[in-house]
Amino acid sequence: MFYNDINCGTKLDDGLLKDNEIIAEINSLKKQNDVTILAHYYQSIEIQGIADYVGDSLGLSKIAKEKTNSKYIIFAGVDFMAETASILNQDKHVLLPNPESCCPMAAYLTAEMVREYKRKYPGLPVVTYVNSTAEVKAESDVCCTSSNAVNVVKSIAKEFDVNSVLFGPDSNLADYVEQQSNIKCIKMPEDGHCYVHSQISVDDLKRSRELIKDGLVLVHPECVREVRELADFVGSTAHMYNRVKNSKIEEKKFIIGTEDGLMKRMAEDFPDKQFYPIREKLICYNMKKHTLELIKYVLENLDDPMFEVKVPAEIAEKAIFPIVKMLEIS
């Protein structure tokens, strides 16, 4: 599918008219209230459109810490992103429009499991992907995102003077970091993965290369090793975005191995390029639980405790250290 089609001028149907009305109301409510809206690249293009900032998980953590002065932060992302923003902004109200928007990968690793790994491997630093619970972060030495994982692992291994680290919960990212850094990443656990990226197969990649002969294949490090090794580029959502932004004029076609929302962002921002999904239905249904209607409702009910993400103080006090350490390394 050629996603630049979304830029075509077509007669608005009822659905789009309704969206436009809601968007106008959201923009007016935003002006009346002390609110910043953050949206991850995997949100629908309409939600990205009403956000003050759109980015990857590292970029949004930095914005939450450094650039947000408003009393309320509405976070159109999954729960771990809102929790991270809340830990970094304990004086602000961080709101998740759909409280059920969670990342299933985080459930692969519990704080008790981390304590068990630490007992088994004393002296090794614990590196946790931000796609984890606040309790797990509280047991960690440093966090990472897919943008900075290689640098974080190199830095913490040097600090601890070791050549192995404990890494979880994504086993594919652990494998990627190990390949890139030559530092052993002991997986916590062996099988943690993302259901969106791990469904991308070698067959998908080969089929799309056959269809789009001169397409460059860009995949996320949460993909399995066999897929990563056949791709032209491996990187986080922000790295993929920048790879396209900085592409040569003759690089016109890109086959995208990550969630659909990033492809739509790039199709809007780079209309002279063409984008193709590596396989159909690469949707993170957890990210897509937010809607314009829910965001409007939250803006009308900013003090409704149902939407507020608050990490218990005793957990937040510990979890802030590995998050800040990650931001210092990045």
Q: Which residues of 12-22 are buried (b: 16+ CB within 10 A; e: fewer)?
A: eeeeeeebeeb
Residue 244, interface with ligand 13P (CB under 6 A)? no
Structure tokens at 290: 């937010």
259 binding ligand SF4? (CB under 6 A):
yes
- Of residues 43, 57, 86, 101, which one binds ligand 13P by CB under 6 A? 57
With respect to ligand SF4, which residue has the nearer C-beta, 41 or 124? Answer: 41
Side chain identity at residue 257, one-letter code = G
- Residues facing 167 on adjacent strands: 127, 187
* Cross-strand bridge partners of residue 216: 254
Q: Given the complex with ligand 13P, which of 208 and 258 has the nearer CB atom?
A: 258
Nearer to ligand 13P, 26 or 177 (CB): 177
Q: Residue 143 carries which side chain, given as an amino acid letter?
A: C
Q: Residue 132 or residue 181: which is nearer to ligand 13P going by CB?
A: 132
Please give the radius of gyration of the chain, using alpha carbons only, rounded to the nearest integer: 20
Cis peptide before 189 (omega within 30 of 0): yes
Span near ligand 13P by CB under 6 A; candidates 26-34, 53-61, 207-215, 275-283: 53-61
**Does residue number 287 form part of the binding site for ligand SF4 (CB under 6 A)?**
yes
**How many degrees, rounded to 5, is the angle at CA 64 between CA 61 and CA 70?**
170
Q: What are phi and psi of 151, to 5 degrees?
A: -65, -40
Interface stretch with ligand SF4, choices 20-28, 149-157, 171-179, 192-200 (CB under 6 A): 192-200
CB of 60 to ligand 13P, least distance (A): 8
Q: Which is nearer to ligand 13P, 61 or 181 (CB)?
A: 61
289: three-class secondary structure by DSSP: helix
The tokens 């900032």 sit on which residue?
53
Cis peptide upstream of residue 312 (ω within 30 degrees of 0): no
By CB under 6 A, what part of segment 193-222 binds ligand SF4? 194-196, 222
Per-residue x/- mask for ligand SF4, residues 75 to 114, rule CB under 6 A?
A: ---x------------------------xxx---------
Beta strand pairing call for 93-95 and 142-144 = unpaired
What kind and span of H or E run contains 66? helix 57-66
Q: Residue 237 CB, nearest distance to ligand 13P (Å)?
A: 4
Determine, following the binding rule CB under 6 A, whether residue 109 of this chain makes contact with ligand 13P.
no
Residues binding ligand 13P: number (CB under 6 A): 11
Q: Which residues bind ligand 13P (CB under 6 A)?
A: 56-58, 131, 145-147, 194, 222, 236-237
Give contact residues for ligand SF4 (rule: CB under 6 A).
Answer: 78, 103-105, 131, 194-196, 222, 259, 284, 286-287
